[in-house]
Structure formats: C-alpha cells, structure tokens
Structure 1
Amino acid sequence: MNSSSRQRRLTGVAVTALAVAVTATACSSGSGGSAAQGADSGTYTVWDPYPQFDKTSDWAKLLDECGTKAGVKVKRTAFDTSDLGNKTLLAAQQGNSPDVLVVDNPVVSTLAEAGVLTTTDDNKLDTSKVDPNLLAAGQSGGKTYGTPIGANTLALYYNKDVLKAAGVDAASIKDWKSLTAALAKVKKAGKKGITFSAIGTEEGSFQFLPWFWGSGAELTELDSAQAASALSLWKDWLQNGYAPNSVLNNTQTTSWQEFAGGDYAFGENGTWQLANAKKTGFDYGVLPIPAATSGNAAAPTGGEFVTVPVQEDSGRYATSQKLVTCLTSGENLYTTDTTLSYVAPTSEVQDKQVAANADLKPWVDAVKAAKGRTSDDLGTKYPKISEQMWRAVQSALSGSKSPEDALSEAQSAAK
C-alpha cells in the first residue's frame, strides 16, 4: 500500500475508536519515534506499551537477543498504553511507522481498519499454535493482524476464611444461583459479599462483560432479555447488601483494595493481582466466573498483540517476521508471560506454566473460555457499544432507571 492511499484510510472514525481504554495493566508514559528506512537498514524499530521495563529488564534484553538472531539492531521505544494507538496512527500518516508494534488487543482491529497493519498472510507469521479464541481479538474482516504475546482476564478471587466462617464450600459455586446463595450466607455470617468495578469507563464494561456474556447476551443486542438478567443480577446484589454501593465508583484497583482488606468473600479481578494476592495475609482461592446456568462465563481478554505495521518498503517484512517469531517462540513466551503475569496464548506453553505454578490453573481455564472485546467482527463498533453498556450499568445500579429501560436506551444509542 502506498503512502497516499494509507493516509486516505486514516479516518476520524479510527482516531475516535482509539478512545477505548485498556484495563489489564497500568503503565506510565514514555516517548520516542522512528523513521522510514530501507530493507537493508541495520536498525529495526519496535514500539511497546511497557515503559515500566527499562533497558536492563528481561524484556529489553529479549528484544536485543531477537535482533541479534535476525542480524539487526533493535531500537526500542516504550509508550504509555493509552498513547500508543494514537502515536501509531500519527506515525502512519507521516510514513514512519515502527517495524514491529506491540499493542493492546482491542486496538488491533482499529489500526487494521485504518490500513496501518499488515496481515499475517502479508508478513508470513505462523499463528497455527495460538488458541483460536485469543487470536480472534486480532481478526477483522476475515483477516488476522498479528499474534498475541499473552493474555490476562478476569476471575473471582475468594477469601477462604470468610467462606469457611459462612459455611460455604467454594466448589459448590457452579452458577449464578449458587453464587448468590453463597453471598446470602456470607452476609448472614456478618461478613461482606462481593466487590467489583462498575465505574463509568471501559473498566466498568470490562468487568460487566463476563456476566453479560455469561447470560448468553450478545454485544449487538444490548437490550435482550439475557442482558437484562445480567444487569438485574448486579442490581439485586446491591439492593440486598451483597455488594457495596462503592462499586459505582470503583476502579479495578480500588475494588482490589476492598477485597484485600479481608472482609469480602469475593473480589472480581484479574491475573495481574496474583502477586498482590500473596501479600494479603489471608488464604485465597480463584474461581472462573460462572455462567448463568452452568459452566464458565467468557471473560474479556486483556493483553497485547505483536503486529507488523505497513512499511513503504515491503522488503522489511522478512526481518520483522523474524523478530516477531523470535519474541513469540515457545521458550520466549514462557519467560515473557511470567514477567508480565500473563497466561500464554498456546496450550503448549500454558501447560508448562501450570506445571511450574499450580496457582495458574484456574487462570488458564478462564483464559481458555475468554473472548476478545472486538471479536465477532465488531472492530471499531466496540467502543461505542461499550460506552453505552457502562452508561446502562451506571443508570441501573444508581437506581435512576430499571435494567430493562437502561439497556433499551443503550441499544438505541449504540445503533
């Protein structure tokens, strides 16, 4: 694709869609840039959303090692996650995209629709070992753009002491009915039930999605009876005192702080809290979020894709492919995903992770049931749908609208 055609496709729709916020990990800001170079250049640029890792980190060392194997020098620049998408769009407009881009998975379809990324058919990346549900987050219009470097998702942490005092067996929680019954017992025992984030941002949608999908609802039909049942579940929990009113303003961080205080039976949160869970001072366990009637609900995937942006000189793709293949090899995925507290995107490496750390077993199960927010070919439609979803959640939980009315209004606005 030549420069002028690429610029024509970088529309305002794409820029607006990048307002989707990432909920998996928090990063501080970084800066940097790249310039268009020929295929014979000895330097290849890599942009990533990990400014917390400096040049002495294992991640930075891995990039250098992969560069050495490919016979080139890697120039790495780290950006804050929220800045990286817009920086990438601007670089594409100016014709100086990085050779390799590590980007949050909901942003992939936006960049793809803007004409910024090459497909795996173009760049010859092998994604055959990647779990299909994880790869779907990087697919748009029947094409695949990149490969996941790892995934995280949501599950229910539980306090074993609180459940024991309430006479609740965690293994008995198989669906919404049994979970709600457990919350009732916990309240009767004088403890607190469940905390989560229902804030009016992408974090609120991220946390509501397992219940939404677990009801059988689809993002293209926010006002379905199944969607209303999911929102009614949360509303009933607040009304019965099983969940605190603070969920309306809770981020995932403040929700975690509530759970870590030791009085709550359950806290909905992510893989990224594993290290903090070990510091709470109480025994904890992890359950996949149950679906309405049985089985595990699909929780949204967090984590990044490694992609190859469009270049003026297509001869650069061969070396970029070598870099990406090195970064996502089985051995390197294991090391990187351990560093990032991610579950690997392949069954082979997942098995190795569980063998080394049995605590990861429920997270692997949750990731295997997880779903990309932009899957089902939603692409740039997702941000608008998500905004209406969190607005509906806020309206229903605050009591200003019934779940049915809030979702009906959300569906109309999302069309």
Structure 2
Amino acid sequence: MRSTTARRRVLAFALTTVAVTAGTVACSSADPATDPAGTTYTIWDPYPQYDGSSDWVKLLNKCGADAGVTITRTGYDTTDLTNKVLLAAQQANAPDVLIVDNPVISTLAEAGVLASSDDTKLDTTAISANLLGAGQSGGKTYGIPIGANTLALYYNKAVLKAAGVDIASVTDWNSLTAALAKVKAAGKKGITFSAIGTEEGSFQFLPWYWGSGANLTKLDSPQAVAAVSLWTDWVKQGYAPNSVINNTQTTSWQEFATGEYAFAENGTWQLGNAKKAGFEYGIIPVPGVDGGTAAAPTGGEFVSVPVQKDTARYTTTQKLVSCLASTDNSLATVTALNYIAPTEAVQAKQVAANAELQVWVAAVKAAKGRTGDNLGTDYPKISQQLWTAVQAALSGSKTPQAALTDAQTAAAAATK
C-alpha cells in the first residue's frame, strides 16, 4: 500500500473532486439501520444494458441465494463507474463487489480502495497469468478477470482471392504489407483500423507496438519507430485510408463491412456483425514484425472487492466472487458478453462449442494488460503521449522519430 500522500496523488489523477484523508481508506456496504443482520450485499457493474430479467442479473441473484444473502445490484456506464466508486469509498459506502474495466484496477488499488486477494482469500491459481497481470499492482492481486477480449485481423476472403493473396502467406509485417500492395493493385482497399486520438487509438496500435518488440517505458526506441512507420507508410502508400486518423473501432468496422477492404483490425465484439456482413470472412492474429502472434492488449472487466471496515464480510463476498468465476457460470457469462474466458478449462469449452473462437483464444493467450510491466497509474499518461505521437506521424506534421522523441520526453515528465 502506498503512503497517504501517494494515495492522494492517485485519487487526484482519477477524480479531482476526491481527496483521501489520512490513513487507510475504510469502506462499508452494511448499513446497520437498514440491514441490521448484514445480509444484503451490493454489487456494482458496468452493464446498465442488462435489467432484472437478464441472464446476468439472474446469475448475480443466484450467487447471492447460494451464499444465503440478498443482492442489491446497480449497473453504471463505464465512464461513470470509477468516479462513483471513488466517491463511495471516500464516504465509507463502497459496494461489496465491484466489476470494473481492467485498466482501472491499478488506480483503485493504489488509492487504497480495493482489498487484495491476501485479504479476501480469493483463489486465482486457475486464471491465465497474462490476464491476471492487469489486476496486479505492487506485487499484489486485486480481483480476477470476468473474461477478456482483444484484437485480431478480420479478412475478406473474396477480396484476397481476387488479388491473388493466400492468407496462409500472411505471417509477418513484410508479408502483410506485400498482401496489401496486391490488393491495391487489384483495385480494392487494403486495411482499416482505428487511430483516433484517444485510448481507443492506443488500444488498436499496441499490437503493432508490442509486436515490434517495443516497451512502453521507452517510446522512442528503434522498435517503436518501426511500428509507427509501418502505419504511416501504409497511409502514404494508400494501403490504409486517411480516415483512420479519426476512425473509432466502430467506424473502421463500418468501412470493412462495405466489402471493399481486405483487412480490418477489430475485436471479438464484432463477431456478431461479421456474420451479418454478407461476405465470407476469416480471422488471423495480428502478426509480429518477424512472425508469430503479437501481444494485443486485453479488454474486459475484473471482479474486485472494495475494502470493508467489517472484514468479516469478506467471507461471503469471496463466495459471491467464486460463484461468478465458477466454470459453469463463467462459460455462460463470457458467451453472453462475447468474451474469451480467463481459464483454460472454460476456453476449451468455448472452442468445443464454436471452433471459430480458436483464433481468439490464441490471441488472448498472447495478450497482455495495458497497466502491466508495473506501469500501474502511469499507463494513461504514457498512452496519451503514444496516441498523440501516432496522430502526429499519420497527419504528416512530424516524422515517426520526431513524434516519438517528443512523446518520450512528455511521458517521462508526466510520470516522474
């Protein structure tokens, strides 16, 4: 746990209106006035689209019933949830169980809001280590992933066939670029992706960045320059459209859905739309510079446990979290959310039910958390400089080297 001063800095970063008072953050969901028996447990999640009739809420209630308690559940928009939790922690009224986007875990943990698995006795041994990393900070683990999504390359079979491209030949950056050149020569469009100046842009760029061998602690390394140059050259050569600089993942998918593009970088959440696209498609992992599967960033939420003044509540909370993470319940949850399960046992069940998910399982196994490598709350500051550099290079206002040199200088100053 960081000092009180450090926790104040973390909260100021995440929510400027919250100031942490001296000492450890103390939270409690049990209100003796309204719940004298302490048998009501609160759960907050980022799924407001699911109402009481949904399978998700039914599962929460079932887990509560199995643990002998009543569940009070509230769904918040993802952008609101972090602020709500920080305020609730300050007011000693945090929920018993919190499901939150994985990059936020380090912010909440370093602010003293979350209990570690040492406190809650959660068993994390079955969780894939690379996925669990997004929920670790300071050598401790804060929760478990409910599931994961990540990025890969969708491809249009008809476009590649017309261009004379065998998808099996696309194994690294050079062969992918060669395929894009053939597609352009055949009168079709090459690849679309999202390079917008937000976290979404960094999320899409990271497979190429990590696939080059670059590390986020050194934004101006030769490997990093190679990754930015790859995207920049694709735009210059007309292999990728100028629109990528403003594309979200949704708008880049809409471009691919026209049937004119050979490739699109996107995620598991587009599988349903892919089936409706009206053309035959396939999926391959994002390749590394010299082959193999590039590490893509993990998306998805963690089930975590906010700190409680009454630590006796952790016993029941542990039962609730374990219920949500059980093999049978995990399969139902990840299927509903279009996620890949965080355990190999459930991943095997997913592939057995749908062989198309094999490529996504492989991508998730190679993926890594954005806040990993001990970046924690420094990640958002570094990410902002990364997407700023990519934007500058794609727009032509700076060379890749100059853009990344400036980004490294700014990131170093921001993370002192």
Match of 1:29 in 2: none
Give the one of 125, 131, 134 matched to 1:134. 131
Match of 2:85 among 81, 88, 96: 88
Q: 1:204 to 1:398 in 2, by over 3 A?
A: same
In structure 1, what is the equivalent of residue 98 of structure 2? 101
Q: For residues 32-77 of structure 1, what are the alpha-carbon distances to aligned partners after superposition, in whole Å with 9 as ceiling and x for unaligned?
A: xx94436941100000000111110000000000000000000000
2:140 to 134, 140, 143: 143
Q: Does 1:308 align with 2:305?
A: yes
2:117 counterpart letter in structure 1: T
TM-score where L is the length of structure 2: 0.93
Tell me the equivalent position of 2:24: none
Q: Separation in 2 of the partners of 1:341 and 1:75? A: 25
Measured after TM superposition, the shift of residue 6 of structure 1 is 10
Asked if the contact 2:131/2:342 (under 8 Å) is kept, the reply is yes
Per the alignment, residue 183 of structure 2 pairs with 186
Report if aligned partners of 1:14, 1:380 keep a CA contact under 8 Å in 2.
Answer: no
Contact 2:29/2:96, CA 8 A, preserved across alignment:
no
Q: Which amino acid aligns with 1:223?
A: D
Q: Which amino acid aligns with 1:70?
A: A
Which residue in 2 is equivalent to 1:331? 328
Aligned counterpart, 1:77: 74
Helix, strand or coil at the partner of 2:154? strand
Alignment pair present for 1:201 and 2:204:
no
Q: Distance in 1 between matches of 2:402 and 2:6?
A: 38
Matches within 5 A, 1:8-157: 10-17=7-14, 35-37=29-31, 40-157=37-154
Scaled by the length of structure 1, the TM-score of the pair is 0.94
2-structure distance, mates of 1:150, 1:35: 26
Q: What RMSD over aligned residues (CA atoms) do the two structures have, in Å?
A: 1.7
Matching residue of 2:390: 393
For the residues of structure 2 that align with 1:372 and 1:170, how far apart are their CA atoms?
Answer: 28
Q: Answer whether contact 2:45 2:74 (CA < 8 A) is retained.
A: yes
Equivalent of residue 404 in structure 2, options 402, 407, 410 = 407
| Secondary structure, counterpart of 2:103 in structure 1 | helix
Q: Which amino acid aligns with 1:221?
A: K
TM-superposed CA distance for 1:10, in Å, is: 4.6
Question: Structure 1 counterpart of 2:248, which letter?
Answer: T
Aligned AA (1:360): L
**Aligned-partner residue type, residue 404 of structure 2:** L
Number of the residue aligned with 1:377? 374
State which of 332, 344, 347 in structure 1 corresponds to 2:344. Answer: 347
Aligned to 1:237: 234
2:275 is matched with which residue: 266, 275, 278? 278
- Runs of 5+ consecutive residues of structure 2 not aligned to the other structure: 17-27
1:254 matched to 2:248? The reply is no
Contact 1:248 1:397 in 2 (8 A): yes
Amino acid in structure 1 at the alignment position of 2:251: T
Q: CA deviation at 1:377?
A: 1.0
Query: For residue 219 of structure 2, what is the aligned residue in structure 1?
Result: 222
- Give the aligned residue type for 2:64: G
Q: Is the 8 A contact 1:211 1:297 kept in 2?
A: yes
- C-alpha distance in 2, partners of 1:18/1:364? 35
**What are the ranges of 5 or more consecutive residues in structure 1 without an aligned counterpart?**
20-33
One-letter code of the match for 1:37? D
Report runs of 4+ in structure 1 exceeding 4 Å deviation. Answer: 5-10
State the identity as a percent: 70
The Cα offsets for residues 133-168 of structure 1, whole Å up to 9 and x where unpaired, read as: 000000011100000000000000000000010011
Change (3 A) 1:372 1:283: same
Residue type matched to 2:335 in 1?
Answer: T
SS in 2 for 1:267: strand
